[in-house]
């Protein structure tokens, strides 16, 4: 390693045996295995966990994108004193590796050079098994998105089946789900105190094995019922409803899922979300925001470039869209970082190498969410009987953009800052519920739109929007009109980039044609078509598998054939010559005049 690279790596956690030796370590406390390249940036969960444990005094080595075909790579740092921490990375490995048509992807934004094939399918299972082979009896703890969304029996699109808890398939000792900062510190302390990993059964936000369900646990349908021919779909809908009802720290009970006669997978209630102060402390850990030099030779990491000059300002989302896993992973309670912490991070970015005056994003799951949806959500939890924004904003919803705009103003007033953009997009229905919406939209257009603003109406058909738990398309059209008016008044030529999804549960060919007609009327045809992807842990995946809306019990139409999914996708881009054959076929099958979209 060149001297420049040695100095660079010195500020990072060790990712090679040589670096660990240079630090004078005889043994790491934890080996953190990740399917992503090692990027020391708070947008990468492995970096947060590593830095957090480092702050607690633990020695953490990072095994990034190990060679899973050769188990020797898992011995790179020797046997860890306390255990292996396993994550597939920022994305579920199957979503990362395959398109919705189950074709292997050619690119991986989280790998050096954007090259695919650097992580295995079902990476958490593969990595956990390799770690156990390397050092028998060494604790193996799972975490990250893939583990979190698969913590109990779940629908798996790629095998078209209900798979067991990933805890069992990986034979790991413990699983941390959700945003795991508190849980990983508590688990580390227990292991450091001499507890066996499988005896750490009290930590909130974890899943473990047990011979018996704990007192007060809610019994989920067992795996036998979930896989029986005559009960599987009904049992899965019931299980999903119970999981949703126990997905927040306030009021949640332990869940127990039976496997055979003498084994249960137990999910403890979730951890409470971090407080704003704790969130500040997390994002103020000493991240270098750099890719480890181990990966420089391959051309950098595309995902790292995307967030290099971006700031995470909040967590959680009370939008609760059916196709999104955020509510299941981060929770519905929004927590925002303080203005001071965000502005201090922006100041640090202005001094960073390569900064050219542009903060690319200040956001999170939803940029314009800053706090709990209403005064009771934090103390009583989210309502089970209704959503905060669907079918329309709740009367209790606390709608305000004052703090959001105040933070943006403070950042754009910093020396060296030319522009502050909101690339993560805004929740337009929440913004339209604000009495000050005209002034807010005008200020965003004047200062915080980089020519294009992302929004997510997702569909135009009321039947599909109901299954998505999204507002009427009329709300989007009203927002679009005000956006155009604001830009006209400012003399700016800026556009909305709306996202639409084809073949979502509830969408048949008639609904897909309805969306195509909306696109033709509004004069917008998306450059990229977004196909519905049944991700684990989402309500829409439950609908896709069971053909039932878990919230209403109503039957839901599902486009399952590849042929129909191709037609619905083609209708999103109906004006492309290469799609004409499929568009005409869809119009004919759906009973429409074939000249309808000409």
Question: Residue 96's CB: how many other CB atoms inside 10 A?
Answer: 24
**Pair 389, 453: CB distance under 8 Å:** no
The pTM of this model reads 0.95
What local confidence, expressed as pLDDT, does residue 1 receive? 43
Whether the pLDDT of residue 379 is over 90: the answer is no
Q: Which residues of 60-93 are buried (b: 16+ CB within 10 A; e: fewer)?
A: bbbbbbbebeeeeebbbbbebbbbbbbbbbbbbb
- The better pLDDT of the pair 454, 595 is held by 454
- The better pLDDT of the pair 225, 384 is held by 225
d(CA 526, CA 375): 39
- The better pLDDT of the pair 326, 208 is held by 208
Whether the pLDDT of residue 117 is over 50: the answer is yes
What local confidence, expressed as pLDDT, does residue 10 receive? 57
What local confidence, expressed as pLDDT, does residue 528 receive? 82
What local confidence, expressed as pLDDT, does residue 308 receive? 95
Closest C-alpha to 74, from 89, 87, 64, 60: 64
Whether the pLDDT of residue 6 is over 70: the answer is no
What local confidence, expressed as pLDDT, does residue 299 receive? 84
Least confident of 127-131, 228-232, 311-315: 228-232
pLDDT band, residue 4 (cuts 50/70/90)? very low
Q: Averaged over 154-172, what is the pLDDT?
A: 97
Tokens of 528: 């990229």
Q: For residue range 62-87, what is the model confidence (pLDDT) as tens digits?
A: 999 999 998 899 999 999 999 999 99
From residue 62, alpha-carbon distances to 40, 74, 185, 287, 561 in Å are 10, 11, 17, 14, 42
Whether the pLDDT of residue 373 is over 50: the answer is yes
- Domain 451-598 CATH assignment equals 2.40.10.10: no
For the residues of 215-254, what is the DSSP string, one character each?
TTPEEPPPHHHHHSTTTHHHHHHHHHHHHHHT-STTT---
What local confidence, expressed as pLDDT, does residue 213 receive? 96
* Helices assigned H by DSSP within 491-579: 509-522, 539-546, 562-572
Whether the pLDDT of residue 104 is over 50: the answer is yes
State the DSSP H helix or E strand holding residue 84, giving kind and residue range, or none if neither. Answer: strand 83-87
29: region left, alpha or beta (phi > 0 left; psi from -120 to 50 alpha): alpha
3-state secondary structure of 268: coil
pLDDT band, residue 596 (cuts 50/70/90)? confident
509: region left, alpha or beta (phi > 0 left; psi from -120 to 50 alpha): alpha
Whether the pLDDT of residue 9 is over 80: the answer is no
Whether the pLDDT of residue 5 is over 50: the answer is no
What local confidence, expressed as pLDDT, does residue 593 receive? 84
Q: Averaged over 354-373, what is the pLDDT?
A: 95
pLDDT band, residue 536 (cuts 50/70/90)? very high
Tokens of 507: 């969408």
Q: Where are the chain's structural domains?
A: 3-267, 451-598
Across the chain, what does the average pLDDT equal?
A: 95
Whether the pLDDT of residue 427 is over 50: the answer is yes
State the DSSP H helix or E strand holding residue 264, giving kind and residue range, or none if neither. Answer: strand 263-267
Q: Averaged over 575-581, what is the pLDDT?
A: 94
What local confidence, expressed as pLDDT, does residue 60 receive? 98
Q: For residue range 486-508, what is the model confidence (pLDDT) as tens digits?
A: 999 999 999 999 999 999 999 99
Antiparallel, parallel or unpaired: β 140-142 and 314-315: unpaired
Classify domain 3-267 at the CATH superfamily level.
Response regulator (3.40.50.2300)
Residue with tokens 């003399």: 491
Closest C-alpha to 486, from 435, 442, 446: 442
3-state secondary structure of 534: coil
Q: Averaged over 512-533, what is the pLDDT?
A: 93
Whether the pLDDT of residue 477 is over 50: the answer is yes
Q: Averaged over 398-409, what is the pLDDT?
A: 97
d(CA 490, CA 508): 41
d(CA 61, CA 350): 30
């Amino acid at each position: 390693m060149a001297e420049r690279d040695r100095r660079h790596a010195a500020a990072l956690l060790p990712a090679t045996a040589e670096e660990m030796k240079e630090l004078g370590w005889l043994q790491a406390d934890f080996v953190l295995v990740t399917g992503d390249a090692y990027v020391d940036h708070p947008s990468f969960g492995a970096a947060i966990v590593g830095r957090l444990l480092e702050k607690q005094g633990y020695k953490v080595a990072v095994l990034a994108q190990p060679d899973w075909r050769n188990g020797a790579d898992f011995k790179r740092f020797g046997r860890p004193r306390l255990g292996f921490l396993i994550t597939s990375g920022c994305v579920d490995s199957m979503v990362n590796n395959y398109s919705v048509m189950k074709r292997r992807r050619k690119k991986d934004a989280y790998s050096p050079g954007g090259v695919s094939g650097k992580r295995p399918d079902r990476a958490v299972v593969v990595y956990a098994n390799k770690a156990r082979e390397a050092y028998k009896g060494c604790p193996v703890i799972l975490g990250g998105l893939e583990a979190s969304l698969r913590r109990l029996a779940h629908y798996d699109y790629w095998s078209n089946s209900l798979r067991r808890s990933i805890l069992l398939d990986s034979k790991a000792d413990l699983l941390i789900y959700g945003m795991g900062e508190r849980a990983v510190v508590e688990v580390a302390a227990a292991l450091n105190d001499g507890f066996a990993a499988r005896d750490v059964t009290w930590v909130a936000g974890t899943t473990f094995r047990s011979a018996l369900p704990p007192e007060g646990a809610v019994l989920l349908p067992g795996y036998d019922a979930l896989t029986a021919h005559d009960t599987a779909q009904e049992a899965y809908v019931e299980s999903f409803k119970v999981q949703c009802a126990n997905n927040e720290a306030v009021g949640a009970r332990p869940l127990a899922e039976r496997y055979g006669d003498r084994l249960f997978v137990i999910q403890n209630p979730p951890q409470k979300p971090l407080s704003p102060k704790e969130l500040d402390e997390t994002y103020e850990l000493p991240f270098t925001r750099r890719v480890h030099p181990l990966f420089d030779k391959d051309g950098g990491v595309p995902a790292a470039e995307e967030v290099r000059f971006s700031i995470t300002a909040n967590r959680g989302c009370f939008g609760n869209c059916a196709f999104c896993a955020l509510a299941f992973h981060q929770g519905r309670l929004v927590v925002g970082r303080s203005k001071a912490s965000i502005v201090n991070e922006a100041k640090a970015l202005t001094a960073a190498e390569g900064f050219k005056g542009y903060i690319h994003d200040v956001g999170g799951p939803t940029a314009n969410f800053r706090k709990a949806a209403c005064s009771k959500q934090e103390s009583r939890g989210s309502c089970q009987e209704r959503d905060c924004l669907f079918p329309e904003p709740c009367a209790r919803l606390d709608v305000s953009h004052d703090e959001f705009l105040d933070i943006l103003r403070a950042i754009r007033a910093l020396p060296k800052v030319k522009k502050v953009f909101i690339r993560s997009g805004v929740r337009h229905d929440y913004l339209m519920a604000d009495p000050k919406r005209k002034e807010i939209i005008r200020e965003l257009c004047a200062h915080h739109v980089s020519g294009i603003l992302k929004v997510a109406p997702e569909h135009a058909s009321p039947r599909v929007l109901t299954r998505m738990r999204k507002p009427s398309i009329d709300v989007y059209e009203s927002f679009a009109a005000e956006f155009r008016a604001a830009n006209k008044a400012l003399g700016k030529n800026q556009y909305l980039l709306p996202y639409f999804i084809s073949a979502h549960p509830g969408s048949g060919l008639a609904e897909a044609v309805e969306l195509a007609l909306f696109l033709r009327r509004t004069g917008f045809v998306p450059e990229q078509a977004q196909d519905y992807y049944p991700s684990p842990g989402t309500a829409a995946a439950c609908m896709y598998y069971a053909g039932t809306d878990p919230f209403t019990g109503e039957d839901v139409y599902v486009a399952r054939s590849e042929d129909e999914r191709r037609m619905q996708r083609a209708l999103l881009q109906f004006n492309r010559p290469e799609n004409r054959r499929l568009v005409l076929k869809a119009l004919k099958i759906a009973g429409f005049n074939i000249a309808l979209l000409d």
